[in-house]
Amino acid sequence: MAQGEGAPRQRVLAAFAARHEARTLVSTALGTPDFDDLCWDLYPRVTRRYEADEAFSARRTEVLHAMEAGFSPDLTLPAAIASLLSVPGAGDGRPGSPVGQEGEDSRLSTPNRSGGGSDPGPRTPDPGAVARVAAAVAEANLRCHLITMGRLGVAYDVLPHESDILGRGFWKRAFELLQDSGAIRLETEGKNAGCWVMSLAESPEFAGMADADKILVRSNGIVTYTGKDIAYQLWKLGLLRDPDGTLHDFGYRPFARWQQAGPAAEVRYGTEGRELERTSADPAERPAGDTFGAGTRVYNVIDVRQSYPQKVVKEAIRVLGYPEAAEASVHFAYEMVALTPAAVKRLEATSGVSFGLSDEDLAKPFIEMSGRRGIGVEADALLATLVSEAGRAIAARQGEGVAPAALGERARAIAVGALRYQMARQSRNRVLAFDFDEALAFEGDTGPYLQYSAVRARKIFDKLAEHGLAGSAAEDAAAAGGLELPDGLWELVLACGRTDEMVAKAVSSLEFSLLASHAHDLAMLFHKLYHDNPVLHAPDEATRVLRRAVFRLFATTITDILEELLGIPVPAEM
């Protein structure tokens, strides 16, 4: 598409507008290049040009300012694009420009791989229009993100927008509260002259710091991210009130609807089902029935590298006079996911692009991902590979007789199980060095091992039902009550009985690897017993009832842990 006349930038803008209008900017199909893939490809190229081209770099500042300033709510995307297109010579049209042409592609266009020229073209003509386009780009990426997470069975209730924290006056009120409490002061001299800072010197948490002052408002009057985060945290805790007690809240507007068939099933976006809200700056817009914010306990699930700003936020809540709320503000920190050097080399080999890493970098135990440098694994691409590998494994075991629809669903379940278990099995404060071979493993200590145990257990009951021997939980309990359990079976019962305790421990320690490892323990015990404890072909009725009772307990326990707690779907067959 977009093979019309005109300079590259004009073609891209026109194509963007057309596809936005046709609602084809974002795809719901796994494995096809999508809008976020395009951005992923473009980001490192644009970054390289920033580094190589000072004049081009200046444009970034202009665009960021335009985005900060925002745009009129009346400005539609077509109008914004029309405004940008009307600027004479809005594209430089030379082959060296960062966005070039390479023919048909399912995306907007394929970026040119060659480096850039030095003329950045005309200055940003219409900041409002630029901000409007930026908002559309952000929303398209957000929708891609939602679909990706939906594939993993993750749904959302509300999407708070940072711009609305300012737009709704949250920061304005938080700033007043901070001033009234004496928590911040305006610096009149020194390197922070003209800034509003929060002093952390008196807090033991920050003792020993070279500079114990955190700037919340810059000398140019613009609030920092941490400042906005304090206002946001006050809203989360229901502490953002006017002097008359009126609670501050966002406006809310429907963003999408979604459905999910079961606890670990894929989340699908469409026109039916539960509503996903986004915030708005207009308090007159109210959600249908849900309320948000004003929590008694707040978990901020953020990378461990945000520990320092998160501490500042917590400290701000405390000095504002809410020590209990500060204690109820929990930073659920997790270590980063990085790449093994082998994974990096594989990515370079696959993409044909060199990341330009030094030998020193490649000698490290892991390499940090970087969107700017294009170093990373795209979740959808990984999932697509997992699905195809799982499908292949199913076909190898079951022959070609599996209906394509059933095979697709089972392969998805196995792929999601493999991915989610790999993420869950490791404690959260250890760097997860991503390795392709490990991620694609389906045997051993993996998600599919756990899924297989659940599938196998259920198969026992399918077979029993065929012979009219399925029984019921109540019958088993009654019959097994007076019988003595052999050690192995008893061990499995005990382990199942420890589940509540393990859940409580996982919650109190915020360590969900405990659940993963508990599930693995259960599956391992079951698999060991499976061979020597046939149920259908049990030597006598009493033995059969005993085994049936224990395996029934296992089947329900493992399925609950996998689907309800770990979000790992249990497929019908594998």
Min dist. Cβ of residue 407 to RNA (A): 10
d(CA 457, CA 363): 45
Those residues with Cβ within 8 angstroms of residue 367's Cβ, 6 or more apart along the chain or in another chain: 338, 339, 340, 341, 344, 357, 361, 375
Min dist. Cβ of residue 104 to RNA (A): 35
Q: Identify the residue among 29, 201, 222, 478 touching RNA (CB under 7 A).
A: 222
Instruction: Of 146, 110, 113, 140, give the one whose Cα is nearest residue 38.
Output: 110
DSSP secondary structure string for all residues of 309-371: HHHHHHHHHHHTT-HHHHHTEEEEEEPPEEE-HHHHHHHHHHH-------HHHHTSS-EE-BT
d(CA 333, CA 123): 42
Min dist. Cβ of residue 132 to RNA (A): 18
d(CA 264, CA 154): 8
d(CA 119, CA 469): 80
Site for RNA in 348-367 (CB under 7 A): 364-365
**Is 265 near RNA (CB under 7 A)?**
no
Instruction: Of 497, 487, 475, give the one whose Cα is nearest residue 542.
Output: 475
Helix (H) or strand (E) holding 133: helix 127-151
- Phi, psi of 354, deg, nearest 5: -90, 135
Site for RNA in 411-430 (CB under 7 A): 414, 425-427, 429-430
d(CA 295, CA 299): 10
Site for RNA in 45-104 (CB under 7 A): none
The alpha-helical segments, DSSP class H, found in 53-109 are: 54-69, 77-85
Min dist. Cβ of residue 531 to RNA (A): 5
* Total interface residues for RNA by CB under 7 A: 79
**Is 193 near RNA (CB under 7 A)?**
yes
Those residues with Cβ within 8 angstroms of residue 78's Cβ, 6 or more apart along the chain or in another chain: 17, 21
562 and 519 Cβ atoms separated by less than 8 Å: yes
d(CA 517, CA 523): 10
Quick note: the x/- pattern for RNA over 113-152, rule CB under 7 A, is ----------------------------------------
Kindly indicate which of the ranges 125-133, 164-172, 212-220, 263-271 contains the residues binding RNA, using the contact rule CB under 7 A.
Answer: 212-220
d(CA 77, CA 68): 17
**Is 390 near RNA (CB under 7 A)?**
yes
**Is 473 near RNA (CB under 7 A)?**
no
- What is the identity of the amino acid at 99? V
Kindly indicate which of the ranges 49-57, 93-101, 280-288, 509-517 contains the residues binding RNA, using the contact rule CB under 7 A.
Answer: 509-517
**Is 305 near RNA (CB under 7 A)?**
yes
Q: Identify the residue among 21, 54, 162, 176 touching RNA (CB under 7 A).
A: 162
Q: Identify the residue among 51, 54, 211, 541 touching RNA (CB under 7 A).
A: 211
Q: Identify the residue among 198, 432, 454, 550 touching RNA (CB under 7 A).
A: 432
**Is 372 near RNA (CB under 7 A)?**
no
Kindly indicate which of the ranges 11-19, 122-130, 388-396, 552-560 contains the residues binding RNA, using the contact rule CB under 7 A.
Answer: 388-396
Q: Identify the residue among 431, 485, 503, 542 touching RNA (CB under 7 A).
A: 431
288 and 170 Cβ atoms separated by less than 8 Å: no
Kindly indicate which of the ranges 26-34, 143-151, 276-284, 506-514 contains the residues binding RNA, using the contact rule CB under 7 A.
Answer: 506-514
Min dist. Cβ of residue 536 to RNA (A): 4
Site for RNA in 309-338 (CB under 7 A): 309, 335
**Is 195 near RNA (CB under 7 A)?**
yes
Q: Identify the residue among 242, 528, 541, 564 touching RNA (CB under 7 A).
A: 528
230 and 178 Cβ atoms separated by less than 8 Å: yes
**Is 307 near RNA (CB under 7 A)?**
yes
Give the nearer residue to RNA in terms of CB position, either 99 or 525: 525
Extended beta strands in 364-467, E state: 367-368, 432-434
Kindly indicate which of the ranges 52-60, 96-104, 471-479, 512-520 contains the residues binding RNA, using the contact rule CB under 7 A.
Answer: 512-520
Min dist. Cβ of residue 526 to RNA (A): 8
Q: Identify the residue among 210, 284, 288, 349 touching RNA (CB under 7 A).
A: 210
Two tokens at 105?
Answer: 């592609």
**Is 209 near RNA (CB under 7 A)?**
yes
Q: Identify the residue among 299, 308, 332, 490 touching RNA (CB under 7 A).
A: 308
Neighbours of 143 (CB within 10 A): 20
Min dist. Cβ of residue 253 to RNA (A): 21
**Is 170 near RNA (CB under 7 A)?**
no
Quick note: the x/- pattern for RNA over 533-572, rule CB under 7 A, is xxxxx---------x-------------------------
